[in-house]
Amino acid sequence: MTGRALAVSGMAVAVAGCGGAQSVFSPAGPGASRISDLAWILIVGTIVPAAVVIGLILYAVFRGRRGGGGPRVGDTRVILLGGAVFPALILLTFSALSARYSAEVAVPPSPPAFTIEVTGHQFWWEARYPDHGVVTANEIHVPVGQTVRLQLAASDVIHSFWVPRLHGKMDQTPGHTNVWWMQAAEPGVYRGQCAEFCGLQHALMAMLVIAQPAAEFDAWIARMRQPAPPPADPLLERGRQVFFEAGCAHCHAIQGSHVLRFTGSVGPDLTHLGSRRMLAAATIENSRELLRAFVVDPHVFKPGVRMPATRLPADQLDALIAYLATLQ
């Protein structure tokens, strides 16, 4: 069924630090970084006493020496000291640290520069930049070093927005809007994944967060605000027609003066499809061949995804793909 090779963008792996592309311990932003600090404190702080206790138990079990006798006066004291007093001290410390770190990472470290509204769908991410007038999907750009406010919502079932190298996760629950934040301290490509089971294609519902220096980010915004160019030649015009006739416009929007009827919102906005590094919620590389294969039958790559297969004669398919490739 998944006979096709799914190529992960090499970029995602290349920027990985000591961990992999989605590692909690390769933080690239203040949120993930603070959490990583707390994590190390908790890990070391619990492993050491645990190892001591396990050591005592194993020693007591296997030492084979004669012990014996009835209850001794010191027993209660030992049990209370070791089982209650000592753990209580450690745990109170952890509770206090946890409270401090949690309160700290729950709020943005600096006033957010702007807001991104991310809505979870089965099985893709809708991203709107209300302060910039930009609509896109599955690939979110942010300026390096600036805090971004996230407004997280869900259109159908519960999803969860998670980019481990940048921050902890926050659920997207129908009927609720959760406010969260994100900041990337270094430029790079950060992979995220849906972290709340949402159905058949939960496993491959991923996204890319791309952090860019301010100038590049502004350039990206400027390009994203542009509508799609009208088809420049008959092949592309044919492709635009196929897009409508084959029913793609029922689900996918394309912004542009030549496509006033392409306003579907069931699937991702495709206005700048060509500029994205990956397709299908960061699952397959964005190449003509893979795009074509995906359009023909998405279920080869992602069985259960809501997009149906598209049966088209080869020439119409060629035109369609050519048109889609112009949506940069």
The correct pick among 121, 128, 141, 167 for binding other proteins (CB under 8 A) is 167
For the bound state, the minimum distance from the C-beta of residue 263 to other proteins, rounded and expressed in Å, comes to 22
- Please report how close the Cβ of residue 315 comes to other proteins at its closest, in angstroms: 32
Span from 150-158, 207-215, 258-266, 320-328 in contact with other proteins (CB under 8 A): 150-158
Residue 253 CB, shortest distance to other proteins, in Å, is: 23
Q: Which of residues 247-306 bind other proteins (CB under 8 A)?
A: 283, 303-304
Check residue 158 for interaction with other proteins (CB under 8 A).
yes
| Site membership for other proteins, residue 173 (CB under 8 A) | yes
Q: Minimum distance from CB of 294 to other proteins (Å)?
A: 15
CB of 192 to other proteins, least distance (A): 8
Toward other proteins, which CB reaches closer, 96 or 222? 96
Exposure string (b/e) for 77-115, b if CB count within 10 Å is 16 or more? Answer: eeeeeeeeeeeeeeeeeeeeeeeebeeebeebeeebbeb
Closer residue to other proteins (CB): 177 or 226: 177
Q: Quick one: which of 17, 145, 187, 199 contacts other proteins (CB under 8 A)?
A: 199
Q: How many CB atoms lie within 10 A of CB 176?
A: 11
Q: Which is nearer to other proteins, 160 or 255 (CB)?
A: 160
**Are 116 and 153 contacting, i.e. CB atoms less than 8 angstroms apart?**
no
Retrieve residue 258's tokens.
């030549």
Which 30-69 residues touch other proteins, going by CB under 8 A? 32, 34-35, 38-39, 42-43, 46-47, 50, 53-54, 56-58, 60-62, 64-69
Closest to 217 in 3D by CA, of 299, 286, 148: 148
Q: What letter would DSSP give residue 185?
A: S
Sites for other proteins among residues 83-142 (CB under 8 A): 83-84, 87-88, 91-92, 94-95, 97-99, 101-106, 122
Taking the C-alpha atoms of residue 58 and residue 53, their distance in angstroms, rounded to an integer, is 9
Using the rule CB under 8 A, which residue among 121, 141, 191, 238 binds other proteins?
191
d(CA 167, CA 172): 15
Helices (H), the chain: 10-14, 30-62, 74-80, 86-106, 214-225, 234-245, 288-296, 314-325
The reply to whether 151 sits near other proteins by the rule CB under 8 A is no
The residues, ordered by sequence, that sit 6+ positions from 241 with a Cβ below 8 Å of its Cβ are none
Per DSSP bridges, beta strands 114-121 and 148-154 are parallel
User: Does residue 294 have a cis peptide bond before it, meaning omega lies within 30 degrees of 0?
Assistant: no
Tell me the closest approach of the beta carbon of residue 110 to other proteins, in angstroms.
Answer: 18
Among residues 215, 243, 213, 228, the alpha carbon closest in space to that of 274 is found at 228
